[in-house]
Amino acid sequence: MKNIVVLTGAGISAESGLLTFRDTDGLWEGYNIEDVATPDAWQRNPELVQDFYNMRRGDVLAAQPNAAHLALARLQEKYTVDIITQNIDDLHERAGSSQVLHLHGIITRSQSSANPELTYPLEGSEIKMGDLCELGSQLRAHVVWFGEPVPMMEKAIAICEQADLFIIVGTSLAVYPAAGLVHYVGSEVPVYIVDPNVPDVGLPARFVKIQEKAGTGVPQLVDELLNA
């Protein structure tokens, strides 16, 4: 059985109603990264950071998996499928994918602000100021901020090295170290990239570009792979 590895970004959840980061209507048009997504921002104004992620969590809980998430789950009928996602939503899991690695954390969990290894499931959509971890420090969202280590990278690299086929969906490949994962895929491995605006980041010419929205392009590709 073939190992298929899929690297996803915000674009796969766009048709579920979740904003991407760098498109013209993206989240980073309305917010400064430095205000809401760095350790310094948390030091300066934790309430603002907490509110920003509470809103993101509310949006995620209200969203549903779309045809692209569902198609990737169907791929498991024939292949071993590892999803490496930069997304903090849980739409791959809710669609039925069983092996999902979250490079940048997951918004449905909270994290100790003293020890990033302490994370907890969350009941509702809000973390309140005053909600504490077992060490007595404030809880924050379980997300990786700019300037923080990406502890799942080693595992993600090992997964990419084992790929027999690699699919990239809905990422601008602008953020490292995540964007560097494509370099760990074997040079003979077929690579497909599904994005209505395939990023111009010097991808190898052999990568097959599918210039479609995820909700259209991913189910088509999955059908082809299931019928292969």
* Active site positions, annotated: 104
Cβ–Cβ under 8 Å, residues 181 and 160: yes
Least Cβ distance, residue 160 to ligand APR (angstroms): 16
Q: How far apart are the first and last CA of the chain?
A: 12
Residue 8 burial class via C-beta count within 10 angstroms: exposed 0-12, middle 13-18, buried 19 and up: buried
- Does 66 help bind ligand APR (rule: CB under 6 A)? no
Q: Write down the least CB distance from residue 34 to ligand APR, Å.
A: 12
What gap in Å lies between CA 141 and CA 219, rounded to an integer? 32
Give whichever of 86 and 113 is closer to ligand APR, judged by the CB atom.
86
Query: Could you count the other beta carbons within 10 Å of the beta carbon of residue 17?
Result: 12
In the range 195-224, which residues lie near ligand APR by CB under 6 A?
195-197, 199, 213-214
Dmax (CA) for the chain in angstroms is 54
Residue nearest to ligand APR (CB): 11
Residue placing its CB nearer to ligand APR in the complex, 137 or 211? 211
Cβ closest to ligand APR, residue 165 vs residue 168: 168
Three-state DSSP state, 167: strand
Q: Which residue in 41, 40, 64, 65 sits closest to 52, CA to CA?
A: 41
Looking at residue 200, what DSSP letter applies?
A: -
Provide the minimum distance between the beta carbon of 218 and ligand APR in the complex, in angstroms, as a whole number: 8
10 lies in the binding site for ligand APR (CB under 6 A): yes
Q: What are phi and psi of 91, to 5 degrees?
A: -70, -30
Q: Binding-site residue total for ligand APR (CB under 6 A)? A: 23
Q: Smaller CB distance to ligand APR: residue 20 or 113?
A: 20
Residue 21 or 225: which CB sits closer to ligand APR?
Answer: 21
105 is a contact residue toward ligand APR (CB under 6 A): no
Contacts of 99 (CB under 8 A, 6+ apart): 80, 81, 82, 83
Residue 16 touches ligand APR, criterion: CB under 6 A: no
Amino acid of residue 58: G
Positions touching ligand APR (CB under 6 A) are 9-11, 14-15, 20-23, 26, 86, 104, 170-172, 174-175, 195-197, 199, 213-214
